[in-house]
Amino acid sequence: MNSWLPFNAVCDGTSLVDKILLEKNRFSKPILSEEQLDEIQEKIISAYNNKELIRITYYNSGYCYEMKNVIKKIDAIQRKIVLANGKSLFFSQIIDVSS
């Protein structure tokens, strides 16, 4: 039996520290102007019509994520896009689109 154990092994402090760091990095969703929303919408429609690979930055649960993909479908009723990899994003999640 070991007579000495590091602090992290005794109380599993690493998972607690990781949780604190994750919570610290969270932020609120950016508020976009009408012009920015219109520009995003135009880029999405253009990329869909031309079957272009685009970079989408989206917000989810306090964090921003980025992915490159091709838009497979635009669902105007549910206000979301479906990407070629099967992932769906609501328009309200999208904060930036670029080529």
How high is the pLDDT of residue 60? 94
**CATH number, domain with residue 38:** 2.30.30.100
84 within some domain: yes
58 within some domain: yes
21 within some domain: no
How high is the pLDDT of residue 5? 53
How high is the pLDDT of residue 70? 97
**What is the mean pLDDT of the segment spanning 11-38?**
83
CA distances from 34 to 14, 22, 38, 40, 82 (A): 43, 31, 6, 10, 23
What backbone torsions phi and psi does residue 56 show, to the nearest 5 degrees?
A: -115, 125
CB neighbourhood size of 41 (10 A): 14
13 within some domain: no
> Quick check: 58 and 64 in contact, CB under 8 A?
yes
Chain segment 31-88, per-residue pLDDT in tens:
999 999 999 999 999 999 999 999 999 999 999 999 999 999 999 999 999 999 999 9
Domain count, the chain: 1
The residue among 67 and 19 whose pLDDT is bigger is 67
* Residues of the domain holding 68: 29-98
How high is the pLDDT of residue 69? 97
